[in-house]
Amino acid sequence: MKNTIKELPEEQRPYEKCVREGERALSDGELLAVILKNGVRGGNSLTLANDILSYTQNTSFPGLQGLLHLSLEQLKKIHGIGRVKAVQLKCIGELSKRIASEAVREQVSFNKPVSIAKYYMEQLRHEEQEVLISMMFDTKNHLLGEQVLSRGTVNASLITPREIFVEALRRHAVCLTLVHNHPSGDPTPSVSDRNLTRRVFQAGEMLGIHLLDHIVIGDHRYVSFHEEGLMDGWRD
């Protein structure tokens, strides 16, 4: 492998290839090389990009997806990746998640669980911890805002209804939907999920803020409490 990209024949240089054939013609390594710009002593940016992708092969998420799961410290263990490049790679991953979310935002129907699940899927399915989000709506089901309530274990004993409803009351919300992920990829609600949902539902009924649904996100899968009838009879 040549030490610099300029030593490669022009038809093999990722940047020139992108200009000539378009970005879709580039391999994962070539795309990454264009973004990295510089390699390391003894290897060019394409070498470094392929080293990064090789490193992810030994993780639970091989390939480009691995960039979303590697920590800054893990990235810095790769030869040629210092603090600056590690931060750049983390930002690339975050940018890709935000682009994916924005791409579906205009199509989101907040009264359809499948639509909400699609909106949060790319944001949450890569998380290695459980993240609980509250979506707050007005009387016309317009989204007033969202709030990350917890990051870690979503446990009914650790999350109080007060935490959930303070912001909802401030925004004059009339209903809520909870969304959280299961890092295992299996969205089946746990006993703790069910207990938390019931507690929030009951507190909301007293405050006049109805809990519409609790959607659990897995890996390209979701479970909606509303769709599954898990909240049926709670208003009786």
CATH number of the domain residue 111 falls in: 3.40.140.10
Number of domains observed in the structure of the chain: 2
Considering the domain architecture, whether residues 161 and 55 belong to the same structural domain is answered as no
User: What tokens appear for 205 in the block?
Assistant: 């009924």
Considering the domain architecture, whether residues 86 and 153 belong to the same structural domain is answered as no
User: What tokens appear for 62 in the block?
Assistant: 């091989």
Predicted local confidence at residue 214, as pLDDT: 96
Residue 159 sits in which domain range?
A: 107-224
Considering the domain architecture, whether residues 95 and 129 belong to the same structural domain is answered as no
Q: Is-contact 2 47, C-beta < 8 A?
A: no
Considering the domain architecture, whether residues 115 and 96 belong to the same structural domain is answered as no
Of 42-51, 189-198, 213-222, least confident by mean pLDDT is 42-51
SS3 of 108, please?
coil
Single out the residue in 67, 83, 101 at which a domain terminates: 101
3-state SS of the chain: helix, strand, coil percent to 5? 45, 15, 40
Decide which of 108 and 162 is more confident: 162
Rg (CA), the chain: 22
Considering the domain architecture, whether residues 111 and 220 belong to the same structural domain is answered as yes
Predicted local confidence at residue 42, as pLDDT: 64
Question: For the domain that residue 97 is a member of, what is the CATH number?
Answer: 1.10.150
CA atoms lying within 13 Å on the CB side of residue 65: 13
Q: With respect to residue 236, please indicate whether it lies within any of the assigned structural domains.
A: no
Q: Which residue has the tokens 């912001």?
A: 167
Strands (E) located in the chain: 131-137, 143-151, 175-181, 210-217, 222-224
CA atoms lying within 13 Å on the CB side of residue 6: 1
Considering the domain architecture, whether residues 69 and 89 belong to the same structural domain is answered as yes
- Overall pTM > 0.95: no
Q: What is the pLDDT of residues 141-170, one digit of tens each?
A: 888 888 888 887 666 546 777 888 988 998
Q: With respect to residue 231, please indicate whether it lies within any of the assigned structural domains.
A: no
Instruction: Assign 63 a pLDDT band (cuts: 50, 70, 90).
Output: confident
Q: With respect to residue 60, please indicate whether it lies within any of the assigned structural domains.
A: yes
Q: What is the pLDDT of residues 166-185, one digit of tens each?
A: 889 989 999 999 999 998 89
Considering the domain architecture, whether residues 19 and 93 belong to the same structural domain is answered as yes
pLDDT higher than 90, residue 70: no
Single out the residue in 101, 127, 160 at which a domain terminates: 101
Considering the domain architecture, whether residues 75 and 148 belong to the same structural domain is answered as no
In angstroms, the Cα distances linking 37 to 43, 145, 162 are 12, 38, 49
Considering the domain architecture, whether residues 139 and 202 belong to the same structural domain is answered as yes
Single out the residue in 78, 101, 124 at which a domain terminates: 101
Considering the domain architecture, whether residues 119 and 91 belong to the same structural domain is answered as no
d(CA 141, CA 137): 5
Considering the domain architecture, whether residues 144 and 218 belong to the same structural domain is answered as yes
Mean pLDDT, residues 92-103 taken together: 76
pLDDT higher than 60, residue 104: no
